[in-house]
A = this chain, B = another copy of it.
Amino acid sequence: MNHNFPKLVRPPAYRVVSEEIRQAILSGELQAGELLPTEIELAEQFGVTRSTLREAIRILEDSGIIGRADRKRLIVTLPKTSTVGRSVSSAMVMHRVTFKELWQVAMGLEPLAGKLACESATEEEKEQLAKNLQHTANVLDDHKQLLDAEIEFHNLVAAAAHNHALLQARAPLNDLFYPAWGAVIRALSPGQRILVAHQHVFDAICNNQPQDAEKWMEKHMLDFRRGIEMGNLGFDQPVTTAANNPL
């Protein structure tokens, strides 16, 4: 054997079709917001049956790049980070990613978000943060509400960074990691330390002091780690999916 042929790939039709449509979208040929032709028309264009075409559509629909205009007609869509994040989260759960691993990533991303937010946050975003802080102060004793406020704070900071790649990379944290704040909050109760850290991050953002934002976000995450270790969640335990069926 002096010559090796490359192994032949013969993807099924539904895969070819879905890839074709995906490329059309990624290349800009199809813009977000455009209505797609009906299933029958599309099937005719590709020369396949509706069944085959539908299988192709499912693939794209799940990855979020096409959705529904009105629960019927298909439309090219800008994927939401949460949609894309879901498949990433699934993968992480299957790979038995631990809290520790996620925390390490969070230690890389959250301080970064704080830093970038200093440069990019708009007045409106600062207001939202301010509102969040005030709300947090009011619900310090209500674990459930405090958890929601806590998660929202991190999302607001990340959004203020105006970096979609960062948002996307952060998505699994929302699904898998921050829900654990529930246990952390109970362990560190009352939430005084949480509020103080948030306050400092907020001030840093308002005064455009990136290093401070970074530093305080880091401290905040260190608290988080301590909380997990104190709670009944093992730091080296794999994360789980909290029965997430938001379809």
* CB of A51 closer than 8 Å to a CB of B: yes
Question: A124-167: which residues lie under 8 A (CB-CB) from chain B?
Answer: 163-166
* CB of A40 closer than 8 Å to a CB of B: no
* CB of A187 closer than 8 Å to a CB of B: no
Partner of A92, one of B9, B87, B165: B165
How many copies of the polypeptide does the oligomer hold?
2
Interface of A is mostly: helix
Question: A23-75: which residues lie under 8 A (CB-CB) from chain B?
Answer: 23, 25-26, 32, 51, 54-56, 58-59, 61-65
Q: B90 touching A164 by the CB < 8 A rule?
A: no
Q: B91 touching A241 by the CB < 8 A rule?
A: no
* CB of A109 closer than 8 Å to a CB of B: yes
A101: B residues at CB distance < 8 A: 163-166
Once bound together, how far apart are the Cα atoms of A93 and B22, in whole Å?
A: 11
* CB of A19 closer than 8 Å to a CB of B: yes
- Shortest CB distance A179–B (Å): 14
Closest to A176 in B: B165
- Shortest CB distance A7–B (Å): 11
Interface size on A, residues (CB 8 A): 56
- Shortest CB distance A39–B (Å): 12
Q: A90 touching B97 by the CB < 8 A rule?
A: no
* CB of A188 closer than 8 Å to a CB of B: no
* CB of A13 closer than 8 Å to a CB of B: no
Closest to A78 in B: B94
* CB of A118 closer than 8 Å to a CB of B: no
Question: A92-125: which residues lie under 8 A (CB-CB) from chain B?
Answer: 92-95, 97, 101-102, 104-105, 107-109, 112, 116
* CB of A169 closer than 8 Å to a CB of B: yes
A1: B residues at CB distance < 8 A: none
Q: B84 touching A87 by the CB < 8 A rule?
A: yes
11 further A-B contacts with Cβ under 8 Å, apart from A101-B163, A104-B116, are A32-B94, A59-B59, A65-B94, A79-B90, A81-B91, A84-B91, A101-B164, A105-B109, A105-B112, A105-B165, A107-B112
